[in-house]
Each structure stands twice: as structure tokens, then as C-alpha cells.
Amino acid sequence: MQLREESEKEYVNQQFESTLDSVDRAESLIMGAAEAAGFDEDDLHKIGMAARECMVNAVVHGNRYNANKTVHLQVSGADDYIKIRIADQGEGFDISKLPDPLAEENLLRHSGRGIFLIRAFMDEVDVRPASPHGTEVLLVKKKSVSE
Amino acid sequence: MSVKLNSRQVGDVTVLDLAGRITLGEGSSTMRDALKEVLAQGHNKILLNLSEVSYIDSSGIGELVSAFTTVTNQGGQLKLNGLNKRVKDLLQITKLYTVFEVFDEESTAMRSYT
């Protein structure tokens, strides 16, 4: 997808502490931005869920609740899409090594479904190393086209 | 809002009525603690009534799976009732609909216990 950066509106650009309270606050801000951008209820749920999973990953698995590390959230968008960037300051991870949560042997695992759900709910998901360290995740959701 | 929980006994089945959001943190641990208490009392036929649960995240799904394996490993049965469409969809896409027994009516769920 070719994003029209020049016409984008910025909704959120904020640093968060590595706490579960930050996850709730970020989810609320992202939902507010998506609502303001005109997404329907079904898409709002998907965006909120994906963003929450992503924030949890950043706080819990990335920064490991470290009080000296923050999570950077940016939300922007244009008429037909919303873009969410979430960057932690953790040690990073290799996404290719995540087990498939749908494999028979993994179905009863307690964890490991977060990234899978993020991919299921968003149109584009890009996970890459952040600079100078950590992980940055870019999520894009396009508005559903009415028939 | 995090999860609220009420426990009631219907015959030999313990029904845990959950309401709110089952998410990482308080929501997940509330359910885990309640289940531990029910099992400690010797009850192992359990129905989770999720009809008032509006939202479950991947941690909440993980708690449901843990609850299922814990109860099953103790020779019990854990089933789900009253899932809203979004929770049903979550179980579908994670393939967990094939793992859990899921009901829409409590009376039907009750009759299914052996």
C-alpha cells in the first residue's frame, strides 16, 4: 500500500511508561483516534484489539515492565486508513521463530497468540528492529469499502 | 472495567458467571483464582458463563485454555456458555472452537455433563 504521508493527520505521538495502565490508556487513545477517523464499530474492535496486543507485547515482552524504558506510540491516518506505530526499547525478537498457534501441538499453549491476532485483525503488519534498540511494529487498517 | 465473577452451584455443576473484560492482569487472575478455589472444594464439573463478557484478549484466551487443561487433567469437565459473536469469532480463528464445548443455552450445557 502506498501511503500518502503528506496528507496524513497525526492523532497521537506519546511516550508511555512500561505498565499495564499504559496499555489501557494507549488502547483508549487509539480507539478514540480510530473513531474520529470514521471507522465502523467492527473495525474499531479489530483496531483496538490489535493495538492492545501490540502494546502488551511492548510493555511485557519488550520492555519487561522496566521503569527506565518507555513505549513510543504514534497514531496517524488519512481518509481511508489509520496507521499505528508502537516501539519498545527491549532486546528485540525474531518473528520467524514464533511458533504457529494453529498447529495441533500448540493449540493448548497458554500464550503465543498475540502476533497471530494482530495479523488477523489488521491489513498490514510490519515488525522490525527499532533504532537504536528494541522493536517497532507498524499496523495499518484500511477502511472497509461499502458495497 | 475488568472482570467480575460470581459462583453458583446448579446440581453438581459449578457455574462461574463472568462479566466485563478478561484481559492481561486483573481480569485473567480473577478467573484463575476462582477456578483454583472451585477445584480445591472438590468440584470439577465447571461451566464458564461468558454471556456478560464483552471482550477477551490473547491473555484471556490463554487463561481459558489453562483452565480447560487444568480441569481436564484433574478428570473434570470445563465448558463454555453464552459467548458473544466476537468471542465466538476469536475461538474460531484460533481454532479453539474445536477444543472447547460451547453452548448457547445453559440448560443444554447442563444436560451435557456426564
Which is more confidently placed, B2 or A132?
A132
Which residue in B has a C-alpha nearest to residue A52's C-alpha?
Answer: B57
Residue A72 burial class via C-beta count within 10 angstroms: exposed 0-12, middle 13-18, buried 19 and up: middle
In the prediction, which pLDDT does B63 show? 93
In the prediction, which pLDDT does A144 show? 83
What is the C-alpha to C-alpha distance for residues A104 and A87, in angstroms, rounded to an integer?
32
Span A106-133, mean pLDDT? 94
Residue (of B37, B105, B74) closest to B14 by Cα position: B37
In the prediction, which pLDDT does A147 show? 46
The reported pTM is 0.91
Res. A103: pLDDT tops 90: yes
Cβ atoms within 10 A of the Cβ of B1, count? 9
Span A24-47, mean pLDDT? 96
Mean pLDDT, chain B, integer:
93
Whether B93 and A109 lie within 8 Å, measured CB to CB: no
Query: What does the DSSP 8-state code read for residue A104?
Result: G
Per CB distance under 8 Å, which residues of A are interface residues toward B?
Answer: 20, 23, 45, 49, 52-53, 56, 60, 101-102, 107-111, 113-114, 116-117, 120
In the prediction, which pLDDT does A93 show? 85
In the prediction, which pLDDT does A6 show? 64
In the prediction, which pLDDT does A21 show? 95
pLDDT in tens, B10-31: 999 999 999 999 998 877 788 8
Span B103-113, mean pLDDT? 97
Span B23-47, mean pLDDT? 89
A128: which residues sit within 8 A by CB, 6+ positions away? A135, A136, A137, A138
Peptide bond into A129 cis (omega under 30): no
Mean pLDDT, chain A, integer:
93
In the prediction, which pLDDT does B1 show? 54
| SS3 of residue A135 by DSSP | strand
